[in-house]
């Protein structure tokens, strides 16, 4: 069988590039030690209620105008069900779940996260206006999905 010269050249070029890419990958992982940073952001789903900060869900002041808001999603509620936060404060939402995938959306805001068993979700937000805001689970999570909501009172 006769292979055209250009065709042969491109076949060889493709083969060489493939080998170079594999070599670069091996070099980066083995020789340079580049890899994902450990187990940061992960959590054992079965130990959520005993693992800090989830052993103490709720609002915790961390600075002059800064708060951690620790929330656990569960079929079909949030822990805690209701929280109070000051208007204008920097709120660092830290949330997870231990059973199935849930959503965490605060009505009328850009706060929108997925809660995934084994993962910790984080997001920072400031409320500009006082009022009552609904927290809604927006990932279908079973028969009680439509009853899964919480409340944030901004004052």
Chain residues in the site for ligand CUA (CB under 6 A): 75-76, 102, 137, 139-141, 145, 148
Residue nearer to ligand CUA on the CB measure, 83 or 89: 83
CB of 99 to ligand CUA, least distance (A): 9
Of 10 and 140, the one with the shorter C-beta distance to ligand CUA is: 140
Which of 105, 154, 151, 150 is closest to 126 using CA atoms? 154
Question: Is there a contact between 93 and 69 (Cβ–Cβ < 8 Å)?
Answer: yes
Q: What would the DSSP string read from start to end of 126-140?
A: --SS-EEEEEE--S-
- Report helix, strand or coil for 14: helix
Shortest Å, Cβ 67 to ligand CUA: 24
The least distance separating ligand CUA from the CB of residue 75, rounded to whole angstroms, comes to: 6
Which structure tokens are listed for 154? 């901004």
Pick 79 or 145: Cβ nearer ligand CUA = 145
């Amino acid at each position: 069988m006769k292979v055209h010269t250009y065709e042969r050249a491109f076949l060889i070029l493709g083969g060489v590039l493939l080998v170079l890419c594999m070599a670069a990958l091996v070099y980066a992982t083995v020789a340079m030690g580049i890899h994902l940073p450990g187990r940061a952001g992960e959590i054992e789903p079965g130990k959520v209620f005993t693992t800090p900060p989830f052993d103490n869900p709720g609002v915790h002041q961390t600075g002059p105008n800064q708060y951690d808001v620790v929330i656990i999603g569960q079929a079909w509620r949030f822990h805690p069900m209701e929280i109070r936060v000051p208007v204008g404060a920097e709120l660092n939402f830290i949330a997870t779940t231990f059973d199935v995938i849930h959503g965490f959306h605060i009505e009328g805001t850009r706060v929108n996260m997925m809660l995934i068993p084994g993962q910790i979700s984080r997001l920072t937000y400031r409320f500009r206006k006082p009022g009552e805001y609904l927290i809604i689970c927006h990932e279908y999570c079973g028969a009680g999905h439509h009853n899964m909501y919480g409340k944030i009172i901004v004052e």
